[in-house]
A and B are shown apart, each in its own frame.
Chain A
């Protein structure tokens, strides 16, 4: 059974810092891994999708890496801004097209 864990659970940083969010999964037989952002009381916004055959994806200040063999993915946020404050979720696409979500990292960027 796939289990997805995210560390840290919460993070508070001053504006401008570069930061790394971690995601680990127990079953390396994934189809892809996706990072989402969720604002309070809102739905999900897809940030980056990494195919199982890829090592990383980049979008603006965001970079996500994937290491299937070690069961890890990281989301790197450069030059953080207060607008980046949200909960970040990773989700592993594994088995019959289902997504298993991580526990989330609540990020607060202080102005």
Chain B
């Protein structure tokens, strides 16, 4: 149980286009989801916190107009990289909070490798 499905796993896009990444909780309702970014040989850095039905909270240094986050339902959060550039090439991964941080923690999607050419 407690599976988060993330799609696509890999995407290559042209510079200037937009890319949408989806993160779905398959067997539970995720009131809060998190989006992380990982550059090569670096650790995961939190980009933003997505709350169902409200605006996302972005970490310092993350452009909210460039990385659009939508959490319209309890099972789906999307991250759209707008006007992508080569420097946006990275590994993006989502995480869902399972509503009981004391015992269940969080579950992560399998990640999306974005390459902007």
Contact = CB atoms under 8 A, between A and B. Distances in A.
Contact of A51 (B32, B44, B103, B113): B103
B101 A43 contact: no
A99 B46 CA distance: 8
A31 B97 CA distance: 13
B106 A34 contact: yes
B34 interface: yes
Q: DSSP majority for the A interface?
A: strand
A101 B105 contact: no
A31 B102 contact: yes
A34 B105 contact: yes
A44 B108 CA distance: 7
Contact of A44 (B93, B102, B103): B93
Interface in A16-55: 31-32, 34, 36, 41-44, 46, 49, 51-52
B113 A89 contact: no
Nearest to A34: B105
A98 B36 CA distance: 11
A44 B34 CA distance: 14
A97 B101 contact: yes
Contacts of A31: 101-102
Nearest to A41: B113
B21 to A, nearest CB: 13
Sorted nearest first, the 8 A-B pairs with minimum C-beta distance are A43-B110, A43-B111, A101-B44, A44-B108, A101-B43, A49-B105, A97-B97, A31-B101
Interface residues of A, number: 24
Interface string A48-88: 01011000000000000000000000000000000000000
Contacts of A89: 43-44
Given A93-B106, A99-B34, A43 B49 contact: no
A43 B109 contact: yes
Contacts of A97: 32, 34, 49, 97, 101, 106
A21 to B, nearest CB: 14
Contact of B102 (A42, A51, A103): A51
B101 A93 contact: yes
A108 to B, nearest CB: 14
